Structure 1
Amino acid sequence: MDARLAPGIEVTALIRRAEGLGGFGTVLHKGDPDRGTIVLAVAERGEHRALLERRMQADWSYRWTVVGASAGDSAGAVQDVARVRARDPDCWVLELDIPSSERFIAETTSVS
């Protein structure tokens, strides 16, 4: 089983990672500090690029997965986030506005 950080700690690390890349991050919805999923709304210069969610895989490991609305579909992303929050009220929702968002998304979702 994958050891993973508590969401409250991981959220702080993700925001610092965004800042280290020259962007910024903000918490849109604060979830339970010890449990719950994390959803990342990734943007570049204010334009929606992707929605990522950390999901448990069939082998019980966790992996970041692109979910929901496609790039540029901000309204669809808002609806997708609402669905996740309805399913998991303990979830965290972050917005990360990052230069070179495609690279961030590729690095985050790649399997090591």
Structure 2
Amino acid sequence: MMGTLPSGILVSALLKRVNDSGGMGMVRARGDAQSGAILLLLNENNGTSKVMERALDLLGKVILVETGPADPTDAIAREAYWRRRRDRDPDLWVVELDIPSAERFAAETIASG
């Protein structure tokens, strides 16, 4: 993704922001430090989670797009989904966040980078 910070720096910044705010973030799979895609597992307090990915919109702006299993409570399907994606793309970063408003943290850091 041209014009954006390297993936490794974006992931590090996101983890630092989340951890500094009292949440927990961890890298489930380390991807290419320069240009690896970033897949986010965003856990909510109610037991649900979203899977989102950094992408480009039609104008070339970085956005977060919801992807993955339709059922936000199916942890087994979520785990299988990211593992399949990782098998097909070894440069993929997989980052899990456990903090209230995880999507906001991700958007402010990943989509602005």
Q: TM-score, normalised by structure 1?
A: 0.79
Deviation at 1:107, TM superposition (A): 6.2
State the 4+ residue runs in structure 1 displaced beyond 2 angstroms: 44-48, 56-61, 106-112
Task: For 1:80, give the aligned amino acid.
Answer: Y
Contact 1:7 1:32 in 2 (8 A): yes
Unaligned runs of 5+ in 1: none
Task: For 2:91, give the aligned amino acid.
Answer: D
Unaligned runs of 5+ in 2: none
Task: For 2:74, give the aligned amino acid.
Answer: D
Give the alignment of 1:9-24 within 5 angstroms: 9-24=9-24
CA RMSD between the two structures: 2.6
Q: Once the two structures are aligned, what percentage of the paired residues are identical? A: 32
Instruction: State the partner residue of 1:79.
Output: 80
Deviation at 1:32, TM superposition (A): 0.9
Report SS of the residue matched to 2:18: helix
* Alpha-carbon separation, structure 1, partners of 2:28 and 2:105: 23
The reply to whether residue 68 of structure 1 matches residue 68 of structure 2 is yes
Q: TM-score, normalised by structure 2?
A: 0.79
Report SS of the residue matched to 2:96: strand
